[in-house]
Amino acid sequence: MEYREYMEQQCVEANFHDQLLQLAAKAEKRSPKRYAGLAAAALVCAVGLGCWGLWYGDARQGTSDPMEEAQFPQLHYRSGSGGEMEGSIALPDGYFYKTMDEEEIASLWSADAQQVEEWGLFAQMEVSGQIIYDGQGQPWEVRLTAENESDGTYFIMRLSPGQLPPECMLYENGDAADMVYGTAVTGWRWQTREEEDGAGRWNYQLHFLHEGEETVGVRMEMLGWDAAALEAQLARVVYYSLHADVLRLSQLATEEIPEWISEALDETALYAQEEFEAYLPTKLPEGYICTYGWRELGQGRDFVTAEWTRGDDYLSVSVEKDSAAVEGYIRDAVVNAADTRSYDVRRYGPGEPRPKGYFGSYDYPVFRAEEMSAAVVQLRLETVEENGDSAVFQADFQVLYEDGTLVRYLCRGMTAEEIWTMYTSAPANAEAG
């Protein structure tokens, strides 16, 4: 299971999502890839955090705090740049996740919620937390997201046991680090450019691997307009994370593990999956062979994926039955087959803007099974050229059934007639033929 599939099932609060997209859109025009990764990375860290939030008041030092006169470290940030997407990250087999309460968040620092508030780790921010577990109930990654809507400040912190949290972004910022309380801390920053006055929002990134009673890897990202305030807040978090051996993740382990399956399937095993076999095609163009099969069951997922290939041509079919996952996939994507403007790939050329309201449906349209037809397939078929090679046909679409099952098709190298023949060969689609 990869982040891409996981993320498709998740959502963030609408205002957070809009701010991130606006930030990416306002990035320096001469090098758009440098900043496009920022919104993606932030979304990766924010997905699935739900609506639970904890509001922290002003930063203050309580009179009972032994660190009242603490001197926060002076961190040095090198000039850097936004990262570029580099591959993907596989979630562990059997993964599941849960929302954290305030005491679980505080326990990351071997503290209680009152102490965390007194330390001012999330001053004037609403905080959400999530634990991603592996199939054995051990924390694989912990994610905290904090937001201050009034001043546009965002903070993301990710923690993993034994290593730095996995990263799908590639940053070319060097590996020089400062030693902070015996731990090497690497930090860098960059500023986006705004169209209005040239000033932009600051983005700070840092990471460290603390080796103590428990080895904990940490990545932090902070985004906002006031560079001095961002640096002060990060220094505060680094201080309380490293001034003593306090970082802990083992206390979050759980014995409440949902049922899960993560296994590869050969062609025979694929068609032996009773809940899914009716949606798998039984007739493919000559030369296609089954090269991949996968069964996944767990929290928020219940699907089978299969792939057939013929040289560079392929057919991928995914059958999802988990209702929550299906709801995430079809959001803003279900179309009326009679309204061809929402999904006809021939209507809009490369780079041509789609009408408002068609963004989700145009790229990943979901058709109701009773509305599927050969004409629909024809309108989803486009001709593409790859690396100067000969033009090939390509199509993608999704089909939603009355029982809530969602099937996704990705086709390359097949004609519209071949796709329709393949589609109607599945028992669930026989009547459409």
pLDDT over 70 (residue 190): yes
Q: How far apart are CA 336 and CA 23, in angstroms?
A: 33
- Burial (CB < 10 A; 0-12, 13-18, 19+), residue 201, is buried
pLDDT given at position 432: 86
239 with 385, same domain: the answer is no
Q: How many domains does the chain have?
A: 2
Task: Name which of 56, 57, 139 is nearest 91 in CA terms.
Answer: 139
Task: Name which of 4, 84, 44 is nearest 219 in CA terms.
Answer: 44
End-to-end CA distance of the chain: 33
pLDDT given at position 332: 80
Mark which of 188, 217, 252 sits at the end of a domain.
Answer: 252
30 with 114, same domain: the answer is yes
267 with 247, same domain: the answer is no
How is residue 414 written in tokens? 């097949």
Please give the average per-residue pLDDT across 51-77, as a whole number: 55
Measured between alpha carbons, how far is residue 10 from residues 73, 109, 144, 235, 333 in Å?
36, 28, 16, 31, 15
Q: Give 82's pLDDT tier (boundaries 50, 70, 90).
A: low
Tens-place pLDDT, residues 313-347: 999 999 999 998 999 888 888 999 999 988 998 88
Query: pTM of the entire structure?
Result: 0.73
228 with 324, same domain: the answer is no
96 with 236, same domain: the answer is yes
Range of the domain at 180: 3-252
